[in-house]
Chain A
């Protein structure tokens, strides 16, 4: 598409004005859909936090009878599905879908109806999961392993609802990812070569391809388990020629890929925030982009790291360990480049950078602990204990909650035209940081030195677990209080925040060239992109021109 031949805009009068909700519900605009995904994801973060708190209350004291075992298992299953399928993934995809087309200078997405369908499939999946409160919620755990999730052991509809909900949401993510891939390939502004693509848009491309790959695998697994449950299938029936381990492989490919997607999203957002608020270019763009791609590929290939206790060959475990330990290099390079970008900068410690720093610290704690789980014999000892609960939560709360909140504070001015309150953001951040440490550090000890097992609805007195669990419960409430403060901040700032202007932070990518909030068509005028920092070029050109034009005028002004 050459810019010369296409007219800027053709308008035959204004479309009729419709109610805001009608417009949102029928919109195929990536910004509207992105906002639905992000708002929905944050709503389900609230639900996930409530479910976590209820489980922590049950685990506050030994042999607690606060909730019956089945209720706990249902809470656990809802929590896992909510946190991954309804919070972390739609949050990441929502930000990609909102921001990436703006960053590449596109006037929309390539396949907008696909994105619209994807968004509403996600909404449909979420509805299915939460209507189970009216009958029976799923109870087979975070990852519903057959045979337990088979019809013989859980005969009610809970697991079917889980499968339908997660299947619909996964299909939705896949469609959104297809739209993202097509948009990033076809609709880049003139001059926006791949080598000039902003890091966050690269993260979007990587995550979109990853979503297509792992989403297809999960959909296959879900379809097979549905057939097993409802149509006498034997895909996962161990005694009838099927293989229970097949589900483990397929589902862990998805969960491990999703884990990596969340980290790629967080690191991609952080790589936008750090250079802008340190007033320096990213130390080495190509190394960061290459590392993000390596994280997605190697991390997903390490799926069997979750199956060290399963009866699989030792060689497979070593394969997973090699992939897992190889991740030290790309993760280390991303962190090195972020730190090198900060060094010698002029850092403004604003809310997005604060959350970004918190995200990095939490992700590092989580990943160095996961590293121990990856070392096969150590994994035999640490996996299936609360040590793995703690490691996973540090990495994923770090990525999806701290990283997600960094992205929220960063792009909130673009979405609403207003900044979120700094003071409340600081209170929220420090409360969350303290809460995260208090909630999950004790679980490291409970798991690694006292072998507290995962997913259990109770633990027993006299095994040295009481103090750890009580502290963890208190910490979970502190963490929740911190998260709710950011919710309050976002709600209050939508109308009452300080006006941020169109170029809120001095970022280098093109979304800051659009209005805040952007017009439906994103840009009236597209600049020629001549470097990886187009917004910086635009600012320089504007300053240059105004200097040239104002110079004589100023000379003629009388001196007061």
Chain B
């Protein structure tokens, strides 16, 4: 996995900060414990010192830990806010129409992701978006809770019935990014996967047109079959 959107860059940085903080705390606690256990065995024959500590040392240790916690809190808020910033569409992207970002509705349903594009074309499993463009996904669900999870492009987000959950991202590079559902949704949960195909704006426009024509053609054919009486 590697970051391919500005938000994921920020999240990656925060992950590294968190990892370093975890190592510092973990090594201090486990190291202190093992040292204390190793150095003070009864076998060395020393009489245990019957000492207890006052409030001062607790305040100092607690204060130091508090400063550590506040530093982590501030860093988390800074990077979380950066990760949430709506990324502006770049020069290589599809220009926004009427100031609104490109909005696609993503529907979680047992056990598929369905994407509905602005021109009413739709696709299952595969989401096609233009590169370097601010894309807004409106996550909805028609049945149970699903989590949309494409780790290279955007933060995880739940599709909950009755709610619309916005996910905004900008893909920096053309390519295909795999994703999956990340909340248990029933029997075929593990197979509920998705792929985001990032293409140039021209290819995206072409895809939308072909897709719409294909859907229209298929629909016409079904209607004709019904009219001809070939389908009951």
Which A residues contact B (CB, under 8 angstroms)? 69-70, 73, 76, 140-141, 145, 147-148, 153-154, 238-239, 243-245, 278-285, 287, 309-311, 314, 318, 321-322, 325-326, 328-329, 332-333, 335-340, 342-349, 357, 360-361, 364-365, 368-369, 371-372, 375-378, 380-385, 448-451, 453-459, 463
Of B50-58, B86-94, B218-226, the stretch lying at the interface with chain A is: B50-58
Q: Contact at A311–B160, with CB atoms within 8 Å? A: yes
Chain B window 15-34, contacts with chain A (Cβ cutoff 8 Å), 1 for yes, 0 for no = 10111011101100110110
B121 is an interface residue with CB less than 8 A from chain A: no
Min Cβ gap B78→A in Å is: 10
Segment touching A, from B98-106, B123-131, B151-159, B203-211: B151-159
- Residues of A near B44 (CB, < 8 A) are 346
Taken together as a complex, chains A and B put the C-alpha atoms of A284 and B36 apart, in Å, by 17
Q: Which residue of A lies closest to B151 (CB)?
A: A451
Q: How many angstroms from the CA of A318 to the CA of B78 in the assembled complex?
A: 12
**28 A-B Cβ contacts within 8 A?**
A73-B184, A73-B186, A145-B145, A280-B49, A284-B55, A285-B52, A287-B53, A310-B160, A311-B158, A321-B73, A325-B76, A326-B69, A328-B25, A328-B66, A332-B29, A332-B65, A342-B33, A344-B40, A346-B41, A348-B42, A360-B33, A376-B80, A377-B10, A380-B11, A381-B15, A451-B151, A453-B149, A455-B189
* CB closest chain-A residue, reference B159: A311
List A contacts of B190 (CB < 8 A). 69, 453, 456-459
Cross-chain contact B156 with A309 (CB below 8 angstroms):
yes
The distance from the CB of B30 to the nearest CB of chain A, in whole angstroms, is: 5
For the complex formed, measure the closest distance between the CB of A379 and the CB atoms of chain B, giving whole angstroms. Answer: 9
* A375: B residues at CB distance < 8 A: 14, 17-18, 72, 75-76, 80
Cβ distance A144 to chain B, nearest Cβ, rounded Å? 9
B47 within 8 A of A: yes
Give the residues in chain B near A325, CB-CB below 8 Å.
69, 72-73, 76
User: A339 near B48 (CB under 8 angstroms)?
Assistant: no
Query: Are A364 and B26 in contact (CB-based, < 8 A)?
Result: yes
Contact B25 A347 (CB under 8 A): no
CB distance from A371 to the nearest CB of B (A): 6
Q: Cβ of A145 and Cβ of B1 under 8 Å apart? A: no
Q: Is B122 an interface residue (CB 8 A)?
A: no
Give the secondary structure class of A's interface: helix
- Cβ of B116 under 8 Å from chain A: no
Question: Which of A339, A376, A378 is within 8 Å of B33, CB to CB?
Answer: A339
A309 touches B157 (CB 8 A): yes
Residues of A within 8 A of B145 (CB): 145, 147-148, 244
Residues of B within 8 A of A73 (CB): 184, 186-187, 189
Whether A383 contacts B156 in the complex (CB less than 8 A), given A368-B25, A377-B79, comes out as: yes
Chain B residues near A345 (CB-CB < 8 A): 40, 48-49
B72 to chain A: closest residue by CB? A325
Collect the chain B residues with CB atoms within 8 Å of residue A238's CB: 160-163
- Find A368's partner among B14, B26, B162, B185 (CB 8 Å cutoff): B26
Interface members, chain B 112-142 (any A CB < 8 Å):
none
Given contacts A377-B10, A380-B83, A382-B15, 8 further A-B contacts (CB under 8 A): A153-B143, A154-B186, A328-B66, A339-B29, A346-B48, A347-B41, A456-B184, A458-B190
Cα distance A377–B57 in the bound complex, in angstroms:
34
Is B46 on the interface with A (CB-CB < 8 A)? Answer: yes
A475 to B206 CA separation, bound complex (whole angstroms): 51
Distance (whole angstroms) from the CB of A398 to the closest CB of chain B? 12
Q: Which residues of A contact B29 (CB under 8 A)?
A: 332, 335, 339, 360, 364
Q: Do the beta carbons of B37 and A357 come within 8 Å of each other? A: yes
Q: How far is the CA of A474 from the CA of B158 in the complex (A)?
A: 33
Min C-beta distance of A289 to chain B, whole Å: 12
Closest B residue by C-beta to A72: B190
How far apart are A275's CB and chain B's nearest CB, in angstroms? 10
Residue of A nearest to B42 (CB): A346
Rounded to whole angstroms, the CA-CA distance of A6 and B30 in the bound complex is: 50
> Shortest Cβ distance from A414 into chain B, in angstroms?
22
Residue pair A384, B76 in contact (C-beta under 8 Å): no
Interface membership of B212, Cβ < 8 A? no
Residues A380 and B42 in contact, CB atoms below 8 Å apart: no
Please, which residue of chain A has its CB at the minimum distance from the CB of B15? A378
Cα distance, A519 to B66, chains bound together (Å) = 47
The 9 closest A-B pairs by CB, nearest first: A238-B162, A380-B155, A238-B161, A384-B182, A368-B22, A342-B36, A372-B18, A346-B42, A456-B190
Q: Are A381 and B11 in contact (CB under 8 A)?
A: yes
Q: How far is the CA of A141 from the CA of B21 in the complex (A)?
A: 32
**Which listed residue, B21, B155, B157, touches A377 by the CB 8 Å rule?**
B155
Bound Cα distance from A69 to B149, whole angstroms:
21
Q: How far is the CB of B132 from chain A (nearest CB, A)?
A: 22
Are the C-beta atoms of A339 and B36 separated by less than 8 Å? yes
State whether A349 touches B37 (Cβ < 8 A). Answer: yes
How many angstroms between the C-alpha atoms of A329 and B114 in the bound complex? Answer: 45
Contacts of A321 in B (CB 8 A): 73, 76
Q: A309-B158, A377-B79, A381-B155 are in contact. Are A343 and B36 (CB under 8 A)?
A: yes
B4 interface residue per 8 A CB criterion: no
With contacts A281-B52, A346-B46 known, is A336 near B61, CB below 8 A? yes
Beta-carbon contact of B80 and A377 below 8 Å: yes
Question: How far does the alpha carbon of A287 sit from the alpha carbon of B52 in the complex, in Å?
Answer: 11
If A332-B61, A371-B21, A451-B180 touch, whether A145 touches B144 (CB-CB below 8 Å) is yes
Complex interface: chain A residues within 8 A of B36 (CB): 339, 342-343
Knowing A309-B158, A375-B72 touch, does A287 contact B58 (C-beta < 8 A)?
yes
**Interface status of B231 (Cβ within 8 A of chain A):** no
Cβ contact of B41, chosen from A283, A336, A349, A453, cutoff 8 A: A349
Nearest Cβ on chain B to A11's Cβ, whole angstroms: 42
Q: Which of A154, A372, A378 has the most CB of B within 10 A?
A: A378
Indicate if B96 sits at the interface (CB-CB under 8 A): no
B-side contacts of A285, CB under 8 Å: 52
Q: Name the residue in A333, A336, A383 with the highest tally of chain B Cβ atoms < 10 Å from its Cβ.
A: A336
CA distance A454 to B156 in the complex (A): 13
Could you tell me if A309 and B189 are in contact, using CB atoms closer than 8 angstroms?
A: no
Given A328-B65, A383-B156, A147 contacting B144 (CB threshold 8 A): yes
